[in-house]
Amino acid sequence: MQNYSNVLLNAIKSVTQNISLMEVCGTHTMAIARSGIRELLPSNIKLLSGPGCPVCVTSQGDIDAVIEMVRLNDIILLTFGDMMRVPGTRSSLQEERSRGADIRIVYSPLDALRVARENPEREVVFLGIGFETTTPAVAATLEEAREERLSNFSVFSLHKLVPPALEIIFSDPEIQVDGLICPGHVSAVTGIQPYETLAAKYGKPCVVTGFETVDILEGIFMLVNQLQKSQARAEIQYRRVVRADGNQVALDSINRVFEAVPVRWRGLGMIPYSGLRLRPEYSDMDARLRFNIPELEEIPIKGCACGAVLTGKILPTDCALFGQACTPLKPVGPCMVSHEGSCAAYYRYIPGREGTK
């Protein structure tokens, strides 16, 4: 495999044209930073990070709304660990927990269901966040809760869809992207069709790529190969997991439970039909409605350039706060908090980060 990686790397290095490729998956951001691929590539091939981390693209108003819900209601909030330290305007979930709020970290929404069963006298809320990879798990959990007639379980949905954000990236003249390294696990659910549409509409190749170093090199090679031949097709490199038509059972589950609505993304603004809200049939399990949580205004964090980082307009190291006022220990913006955020990945793996600006 080492040998095959070298073959791929040499083939990529033989390309002379300037190429910018963007990945839109936090797991790719981490995998690329950890593998050192960015440093191995010649300077004419650039790898940018896009809006691929669900925690990072959550708007400040939504984070404030969750904190508001926890402050005003006697609930058990279950969340994936990534959300704990994300700074809201005045507080974070971690701070709320230290003040006595009952906030617990879970690995699966099914764990939240178990907590609801074990605490029938308490209101149990799961903080639903994630792209198409995670949404089916939450949809299936809601369906299970409905079948069991659990009345004390609800979900606060911050779920988002990836293709509408890619549409924004491709249509923004300020963002220079020649091809897309498409997310492996999101695509296991969606299949390749959304990328076929994008590739045809914007004339840019899209390759669904896995997460091992050799997967990423293969994906980059497939993109470069298309670009050299002036092709713009959607292809799958990660074929051991992703099928062309995706996982229809998972898509059906999403569609039975959720419906697409316009939502605000950090760095990208309002995007039509890019967020998922519980359908009217499930509205009794919609925590936003159950606890009457209003939409909160967007209050930007002073000096934080997460928005520009999330769209690949600047590199994490170009932010004035990077590595100085903003570090993983004392993060200012979400891209430094989430371990899959671009800033956290750069901070951890790119050498010479301290005091080099």
Q: What residues make contact with another protein under the rule CB under 8 A? A: 4, 7-8, 11, 25-27, 53-55, 80, 82, 107-111, 129-131, 133-134, 136-138, 140, 144, 183-186, 188-189, 210, 218, 221-222, 225, 237, 239-243, 247, 249-250, 253, 338, 340
**Cβ closest to another protein, residue 55 vs residue 296:** 55
The values of phi and psi at residue 152, to 5°, are: -110, 20
Minimum distance, C-beta of residue 265 to another protein, in the bound complex (Å)? 15
**Cβ closest to another protein, residue 291 vs residue 346:** 346
Task: Tell me the HSE value of 142 on the side-chain side, using a 13 A CA sphere.
Answer: 31
Q: Tokens 């590739």 correspond to what residue?
A: 199
**Cβ closest to another protein, residue 80 vs residue 153:** 80
Number of helices and strands in the chain (H, E): 17, 11
Which DSSP category does 303 fall into?
A: T
In whole angstroms, how far apart are CA 311 and each of 195, 214, 306?
18, 26, 9
**Cβ closest to another protein, residue 71 vs residue 243:** 243
Convert 199-236 to b/e letters by CB count within 10 Å (16 or more is b). beebebbbbbbbbebbbbbbbbbbbbbbbeeeebbbbb
Minimum distance, C-beta of residue 68 to another protein, in the bound complex (Å)? 23
Minimum distance, C-beta of residue 346 to another protein, in the bound complex (Å)? 18
Minimum distance, C-beta of residue 287 to another protein, in the bound complex (Å)? 18
**Cβ closest to another protein, residue 4 vs residue 273:** 4
Which DSSP category does 294 fall into?
A: P
**Cβ closest to another protein, residue 98 vs residue 248:** 248
Minimum distance, C-beta of residue 183 to another protein, in the bound complex (Å)? 6
Structure tokens at 126: 């799961």
44 CB neighbour count, 10 Å cutoff: 12
The region, left, alpha or beta by phi > 0 then psi within -120 to 50, assigned to residue 352 is left
d(CA 193, CA 233): 11
Minimum distance, C-beta of residue 295 to another protein, in the bound complex (Å)? 24
Neighbouring-strand partners of residue 124: 76, 153
The angle that helices 26-35 and 213-228 make with each other, rounded to 10 degrees, is 100
Minimum distance, C-beta of residue 244 to another protein, in the bound complex (Å)? 11
Minimum distance, C-beta of residue 54 to another protein, in the bound complex (Å)? 5
CB of 85 closer than 8 Å to CB of 92: yes
Q: Tokens 């994008």 correspond to what residue?
A: 198
**Cβ closest to another protein, residue 12 vs residue 332:** 12
Q: Rg (Cα) of the chain, in Å, rounded? A: 20
